[in-house]
Amino acid sequence: MADRSTIPRASTRRRHPSSPTAGVTTAVAARPTSRPAARPSGRPAVPTAAADRPYPGKPRAARRAPRAVTAARAATAATVARARAGTAASATRSEPRAPRDGRLSKLGTAPAIALLTVVLCAFGLVMVGSASPVISLSLYGSPWAIFIRQVLWMGVGTGALLILSRVDYRKWRSVRGPLVVVTMGLLVLVLVPPFGVTAGGSSRWIGVGMFQLQPSELMKLALAVFAADLLTRRADRSSEPKMVIVPVLAVLGISGVLILKQPDMGTALVLSCIAFGILFMGGVPMGPIMKILGTFTGLAIIVGLADPYRRDRILSFLNPGANRSGSGYQVWQSLIGLGSGHVFGLGLGGGRQKWGLLPNAHTDFIFSVVGEELGLVGAVVLLGLFFALAWFGLRAATRAPDRFGSLLAVGITTWITSQAVINIGAVIGVLPVTGIPLPFISFGGSSLIITMAAMGILLNIASHERAVPIAPSRRRRPSAA
């Protein structure tokens, strides 16, 4: 038998029958091993020699190698894709998200604030006209006298709003000092008997007849302008309490003492909210703010409990029913009116508490008339309007082109929001009665005019808002058929 190594071979590779070159004749050396005979069943015998296999010379593990490599590559690609997706997600979380391309994002801040102001003023006119006929008839002999005055004051306020909305808000920085000094002088003048006008046990106004000014309302605007300008000029020293907190608290303390002398605790609380709101948003450390806030709270409690009149009004909200005919009478009648309205109210003009039962139904307690005549629905709508105004006011602050505009917008928004919360809280019996009006809704000249002037400044800030990139909405595209 010839040695296998001496047998010449032209090629040791065979073509697969399915190969395109299957018809090409290839010389293959004869092999000593013979093929087994076919089985009786007719099936071909299983090849045993290496030359009889489809891929001779390659073991089974080698034939599986391409599949293993492909699976490993796929797993590696999936791992890399997941890593890239995680990196992109972390980068997206670290950066501020742009607002979605929704209806609320498309609505401009200035038009929204203007629309809300118009709606609130119209709402207030309707409610003053509904709540004032009885008291107007008894005081002036006409059921429309108070309503007509409110219309006139709203006209003046509208003029102030339109004028100040066109004046660059940055110009208020140049008058911050004179504005504070003049307002302080007016607060002192209120306490002088020949000049101050006393009504309801408080001396808060200056003027003659229907032309009267309440300096405490002007002090809200003066404090907001002063604090916003100070924190802008000393932005790099906001971490130093003596350079930022002390000047603001000095103005707040002097004006607060003069206002408490009137007495008017509600306005003093609103001034405190304005000051602390601007300090907080200005980046002042929270430690000193909390200490000073606790000190002011303690002083307010002491001052409130020291005077018997204030003490009775403050403690009456704890249990109005305990003294229904005394200090808790006003709150008790307010709660009766709110409960009588149920869900949809008694109808506009159908309230009963304004017929001499609820004092100050057209001023400080007009929210009770809203709940009685328009029900829970009307009260919730009014609360929603104030919430929307606070939302867009803060959005104007975040989009302001500079620090002064941002802080001034925060001050004005805090002013209106805190005053509304304090007034409504007193009407529903969860806060002490402080005697401040509900913005845009209550009857009053100075409060309405100065509040609308502040809204004009806020509109001017909103009109200079920076452009914010809008993220595209994630809507599924229709799949191609």
pLDDT of residue 222: 95
Rounded (10°) angle between helices 215-233 and 446-463: 30
Helices (H), 261-342: 265-281, 286-306, 308-315, 329-341
Residue 330 near residue 359, CB atoms below 8 Å: yes
CA dihedral 373, 375, 378, 384 (to 10 degrees): 140
User: Which region holds residue 275: left if phi is over 0, alpha if psi is between -120 and 50, else beta?
Assistant: alpha
Q: CA 52: distance to chain centroid? A: 81
Each of the 481 residues of the chain gets a pLDDT tens digit; together they read 444 444 444 444 444 444 444 444 444 444 444 444 444 444 445 444 444 444 455 455 445 555 555 666 666 676 666 656 554 444 443 333 444 445 656 778 999 999 999 999 999 999 999 999 999 998 888 899 999 999 999 999 999 999 999 999 999 999 999 999 999 999 999 888 877 777 766 777 787 666 788 899 999 999 999 999 999 998 888 777 778 888 999 999 899 889 988 888 889 999 999 999 999 998 888 788 788 878 877 877 787 777 776 677 767 777 777 677 777 888 889 999 999 989 999 999 888 888 888 888 999 999 999 999 999 999 999 999 999 999 999 999 999 999 999 999 999 999 999 999 999 999 998 888 888 999 999 998 889 999 999 999 999 999 998 766 554 544 455 554 4
Q: CA 45: distance to chain centroid? A: 83
Give long-range contacts, CB 8 A cutoff, 24+ apart: 389-392. Answer: 389/113, 389/116, 389/117, 389/120, 389/413, 389/416, 389/417, 390/416, 390/417, 392/109, 392/112, 392/113, 392/116, 392/462
Residue with tokens 């089985």: 39
DSSP for 432-461 reads: -----PPTTTS--SHHHHHHHHHHHHHHHH
Residues 6+ positions from 383 with CB-CB distance below 8 Å: 424
Residues 342, 374: Cα–Cα separation, whole Å: 9
pLDDT of residue 410: 96
pLDDT of residue 395: 95
pLDDT of residue 20: 44
Q: Which of 11, 5, 6 has its CA nearest to residue 56? A: 11
Residues 179, 172: Cα–Cα separation, whole Å: 9
Burial class (CB in 10 A: 0-12, 13-18, 19+), 140: middle
pLDDT of residue 196: 75
Residues 6+ positions from 45 with CB-CB distance below 8 Å: 35, 36, 37, 38, 39
Helix (H, G, I), strand (E, B) or coil at 36: coil
- Would you give the DSSP letter of residue 471? B
pLDDT of residue 201: 66
pLDDT of residue 69: 54
Residue 460 near residue 164, CB atoms below 8 Å: yes
Q: Sign of the C-alpha dihedral, residues 304, 305, 308, 313?
A: positive
